[in-house]
Chain A
């Protein structure tokens, strides 16, 4: 049975459109403004931005409202919208070590170098359903004072650096993939370069990534293979483009990103010495649940080269930038 085509012509299409608009635009409830969505449904907006690969909250919120809360449809709307936009600039590579951390957890070590910053997360709280029948009381006029953090606390050394100093990390030769592959402009063909895989995963649907992760650790075609989460960090990074006249990199803003480092024990017959390899996971966004809540989803195919200086092209517009988002993955370690 093939698709034979629903018949009815223009009248049917218009009727369907009217049915959609009636229930969506004229629901018997107050209109949800863009501002309401961006500030009340922050994670939904963030998810749409990440999966669409376009970081502009108002655009994502409008799409979220138009899609009636279906994030998959909203991401698709934003992607289609992005097709209408010209590319004005390409950002400079970002050094993830420049990140000013707001969250930083090292689950693999009890006393790592630098702080454990729990940050804003529901990971370690009892997530019981609350049924408030009225808005919560007004926030205190004076917010609780945040503890002062030293500069080095905001830029802690990496856990992988500790492993490296103990000579526990097997180094891989960096892949020669200097210019990132732009999956939005060129077709990726197998064997796709690493950056193409990363960029595709950066825009992937969150549920699909979780499924991929779970299948890779417990799937019927593989052994149990749970990668240890070494470190999660979330913070701000600068976004720079080259000035069109001077040619110098200019910081045009900062964006939030979440990064994970996963540690993988290397064993097997080909191992020459005890050691581990590490892989990085990367996700742009204001508050990305993806790497932080399902940590190992960042490396479904084991780990990769040492945390590569990650870079990606991204188009920039004054109102928002497209994503540097990238999740690293790679082939299985071979040494």
Chain B
């Protein structure tokens, strides 16, 4: 549709529209501009998924509509486009997309990766190393790498914002525990630019190292999920793996039946034979029109599978563990609580008059709010154990939940000697800072231990989650950390490995206690005692708070 803009009033614009003329392209200029803006943002923040208003394309969603939009937004008539589907220029969908792009933009087409200025691809990076100035557009079905470990889209966004990827690490940890290797084959998660965990679309592992500090620009378009992200040239791309578990690429241990190459990504060609996935490269090798030495140097041959370096061999290897953190010396208290209060409902402090700690006095006569706790104050010295004792419903658990951050306190102040030397009110910190405290400084044992456990991962995974969140990246160290954290004697038995691989849901309830799943070297641990333990009060209403000495390698408990 063509518009002449000589007249800027509405009637003039309408008159300038030639309704009978066929549209010139597949995307209007406004749409292209939006996609370019999203792509520019993506280049500026490598690995970050930029939302964009994905337009409908004349191909089905899920058939490369995201890649097609990105290509159409960045391509011009003087470009040369190449489209491959799993390395194959002749795939029907690749042919269709290439025809659409060339017909609607007037650009040239080529199957030669050296000539193409823009290569749109599904599931492969061309074997021919791309050069500076070339653009690789990848079609992405599922852009969210955390989708497999976190179902909530909002929670995924929070995890990306805080670079909180411990559940991702746990999924890798669990994979190694169960299978001996990381079994994720395509779409391997990578850390881009040291900041964002990113899905590498379903490209094989073989192609992942070739995104690292690549000379070309990588643009990822997910049409169905309405996301664009980018890996700019010369950006660090690290496959997620533990320091002592080497990343491996696929190894067919074979040669291409057509060109004889043994340094390319091979696919099954039937009857037990293999062939190059990249048909262009294969044909050029056969025609002696390929830079074999340059390709071999860029191929990830050093990352071929090597069983001798796998997890089973490294569990016993000595890897230095992170140093325990020290608490400030000479502190009089580790925890100081002043005037803590929690009101559920309207009114805040105005709801408090007329309520009290006794039975039946929690509901505010003024506002109807429930005053769960009010004006609670105490401190805990290093090594001291403090018990909060009160009737059922008197607010003991509420106070603890406010301290660890499960609930927002309505009033009061909280100081930890480990935070800013005890000068900062912890309750004023924002959500991410409070969550970091939960990782390394504060821990809680819930009355029902299952409340504090992730029941969809193994017992060992529950420990690994805290350790990876605290920055541990050695698989061997995480494995060894468990017995030393373990306080129950029977868990030191030779069977501990088996038990660790089990889900905590499968363990006996006593085993599920956080007593045995401690956080990383906490300076303060809170606990609601397991039902079977001795209680300081004859009534079933006690709550304990314990602080442990900073030198302990594992926490002492009340």
- Give which listed residue, A113, A126, A224, A226, contacts B59 with CB less than 8 A: A126
Q: Which residue of B lies closest to A214 (CB)?
A: B224
Report the minimal beta-carbon distance from B318 to chain A, rounded to whole angstroms: 30
Which residues in chain B, 255-307, are within 8 Å of chain A measured between CB atoms?
267-270
- Chain A 211-236: CB-based contact to B (< 8 A → 1; otherwise 0): 00000001011111010000000000
Assess the A269–B151 pair: CB atoms within 8 A.
Answer: no
B 83-107 binary contact with A (CB < 8 Å = 1; else 0): 0001010001101100110010000
Contact between chains at A125 and B96 (CB < 8 Å): yes
Task: Identify which of residues 37-84 in chain B touch chain A, using a CB-to-CB cut-off of 8 Å.
Answer: 58-60, 63
Kindly identify which residue among A131, A162, A224 contacts B148, using a CB–CB cutoff of 8 Å: A224
Q: With an 8 A cutoff between CB atoms, is A33 at the interface? A: no
- Total contacts A-B at CB 8 Å: 45
Query: Looking across the interface, which residue of chain A has its beta carbon closest to that of B178?
Result: A269
Instruction: Determine if B92 and A224 form an interchain contact, defined as CB atoms under 8 angstroms apart.
Output: no
Contact partner, B183, options A113, A124, A131, A267, Cβ 8 Å:
A267
Known interface pairs A118-B92, A126-B96. Does A111 touch B58 (Cβ–Cβ under 8 Å)?
A: no
Q: Which residue of A lies closest to B185 (CB)?
A: A265
Residue contact A109 to B268, C-beta cutoff 8 Å: yes
Tell me if A87 is interfacial: C-beta within 8 Å of chain B. no
B239 within 8 A of partner (CB): no
Query: Which B383-432 residues sit within 8 Å CB-CB of chain A?
Result: none
**A26 beta carbon closer than 8 Å to chain B:** no
B223 CB–A CB distance under 8 Å: no
Q: Nearest Cβ in chain B — how far from A105, in angstroms?
A: 8
Q: How far is the CB of B38 from chain A (nearest CB, A)?
A: 21
A124 with B142: in contact, given A109-B268, A269-B178 (CB under 8 Å)?
Answer: no
Contacting pair A226 B60 (CB below 8 A) = no
Contact flag A110-B59 (CB < 8 Å), given A126-B103, A220-B151, A224-B142:
no
Q: Which residues of A contact B158 (CB under 8 A)?
A: none
Partner of B60, one of A224, A269, A293: A293
Q: Which of A32-91 contact B (CB under 8 A)?
A: none
Q: B residues within 8 A CB of A269?
A: 178
| A124 and B93 contacting across the interface, CB-CB below 8 Å | yes
Return the chain B residue nearest A219 by Cβ: B151
B147: interface (CB < 8 Å) = yes
Out of B86, B88, B95, B268, name the residue touching A124 (CB < 8 Å): B95
B151 proximity list for chain A (CB < 8 A) = 220-223
| Nearest CB in chain B: distance from A55 CB, A | 27
CB distance from B271 to the nearest CB of A (A): 10
Number of interface residues of B (CB under 8 A): 27
Asked if residues B58 and A128 are in contact (CB atoms below 8 Å), the reply is: yes
Distance from B105 Cβ to chain A, minimum over Cβ atoms (Å): 13
Query: Chain B residues near A109 (CB, 8 Å)?
Result: 268
B221 at the interface (CB under 8 A from A): no
| Assembly CA distance A112 to B22 (angstroms) | 41
Is A127 a contact partner of B58 (Cβ separation < 8 A)?
A: yes
Please determine whether A126 and B99 come into contact, CB atoms closer than 8 angstroms. yes
A293 to B60, CA, bound (A): 9
A residues near B86, Cβ cutoff 8 Å = 110
Contact with A along B12-24 (1 / 0, CB 8 A): 0000000000100
Of chain A, the residue at the smallest CB distance from B86 is: A110
Contact B269 A111 (CB under 8 A): yes
Question: In the assembly, what is the distance between CA of A139 and CA of B467, in Å?
Answer: 72
Contact-residue bracket for chain A: 20 to 34
A123 at the interface (CB under 8 A from B): yes
A112 surroundings in chain B (CB, below 8 A): 270
Measured between alpha carbons, how far is A269 from B174 in the docked complex, in Å? 10
Chain B contacts of A220 at CB under 8 A? 151-152
Residue among A118, A126, A267, A269 having the largest count of chain B Cβ atoms under 10 Å: A126
Residues on B with beta carbons closer than 8 Å to the beta carbon of A221: 151
Q: Does B140 contact A (CB under 8 A)?
A: no
Q: How far is B268's CA from A162's CA once the two chains are assembled, in angstroms? A: 12
Q: Nearest Cβ in chain B — how far from A231, in angstroms? A: 15
Residues 99-125 (chain A) with a chain B CB within 8 angstroms:
109-113, 118, 123-125
Question: Are the CB atoms of A110 and B183 closer together than 8 Å?
Answer: no
Provide the bound-state CA to CA distance between A269 and B141, in Å: 26
Measured in the bound complex, the distance between the Cα atoms of B60 and A7 in whole Å is 47
Contacts of B88 in A (CB 8 A): 110
- Taking the closest CB of chain A, its distance from the CB of B97, in whole angstroms, is 9
Asked whether B245 is an interface residue with its Cβ less than 8 Å from the other chain, the reply is no
CB distance from B154 to the nearest CB of A (A): 11
- Please, how many angstroms separate the alpha-carbon atoms of A131 and B86 in the complex? 35
Q: Does B352 contact A (CB under 8 A)?
A: no
A254 to B269, CA, bound (A): 36
Q: What separation, in Å, do the CA atoms of A224 and B189 have in the docked complex?
A: 15
What's the nearest-Cβ distance from chain B to residue A225, in Å?
Answer: 10
Kindly list chain A residues whose C-beta atoms are within 8 Å of the C-beta of B96: 124-126
Report the Cα distance A126→B23, complex, angstroms.
Answer: 14
Which residues in A have their C-beta under 8 angstroms from that of B58? Answer: 126-128
Q: Are B60 and A123 closer than 8 Å at their CB atoms?
A: yes
Q: For the complex, what is the distance from the CA of A127 to the CA of B58, rounded to whole Å?
A: 5
Asked whether A124 and B92 contact (CB < 8 A) given A111-B270, A224-B142, the answer is yes
A267–B185 alpha-carbon span in the complex (Å) = 12
Instruction: State the CA gap A111–B395 with chains docked (Å).
Output: 69
Chain B residues in 8 Å Cβ range of A222: 151
Bound together, the chains give a CA A221 to CA B152 distance in angstroms of: 9
Nearest Cβ in chain B — how far from A316, in angstroms? 36
Q: In the complex, how many angstroms separate the beta carbon of B387 from the nearest chain A beta carbon? A: 41
Q: What is the CA–CA distance of A269 and B58 in the complex, to the nearest angstrom?
A: 42
Contacts of B22 in A (CB 8 A): 131
Q: Complex: how many Å from CA A162 to CA B435?
A: 52
> With the chains together, A75 CA to B466 CA distance in Å?
56
Neighbouring A residues of B231 by C-beta, 8 Å: none
A223-B171 Cα distance, complex, nearest whole Å: 13
Q: CA separation between A127 and B100, bound complex, in Å?
A: 10
Q: How far is the CB of B150 from chain A (nearest CB, A)?
A: 10
Question: B59, B147, B152 — which one has the most chain A CB atoms within 10 A of its CB?
Answer: B59
Residue in A closest to B94 when the chains form the complex, CB atoms: A124
Q: Which residue of A lies closest to B63 (CB)?
A: A123
Q: How far is the CB of B254 from chain A (nearest CB, A)?
A: 15
Could you tell me the distance between the alpha carbons of A247 and B95 in the complex, rounded to whole angstroms? 53
Residues of A within 8 A of B141 (CB): 226
Q: Which residues of A contact B268 (CB under 8 A)?
A: 109
**Which chain A residues border B459 with CB–CB below 8 Å?**
none
Contacts of B178 in A (CB 8 A): 269
> Within the assembled complex, what's the spacing in Å between the Cα atoms of A118 and B91?
12
C-alpha spacing A124/B64, complex, angstroms: 11
A226 cross-chain contacts in B, Cβ below 8 A: 141-142
Q: Nearest chain-B residue to A113 (Cβ)?
A: B270
Contacts A110-B88, A124-B96 known; A223 to B103 CB distance under 8 Å?
A: no
Q: Tell me, rounded to whole Å, the shortest Cβ–Cβ distance linking A113 to chain B.
A: 8
Contact A223 B148 (CB under 8 A): yes
A118-B92, A124-B93, A131-B22 are known; give 5 further A-B pairs, CB within 8 A.
A124-B92, A124-B96, A126-B58, A221-B151, A224-B142
Binding site for B on A (CB under 8 A): 109-113, 118, 123-128, 131, 162, 218, 220-224, 226, 267, 269, 293
Smallest CB-CB A-B distances: 4 pairs: A126-B100, A124-B92, A127-B58, A124-B96
Interface residues of B (CB under 8 A from A): 22, 26, 58-60, 63, 86, 88, 92-93, 95-96, 99-100, 103, 141-142, 147-148, 151-152, 178, 183, 267-270
5 contacts between A and B (CB under 8 A): A123-B60, A126-B59, A127-B58, A162-B270, A224-B148
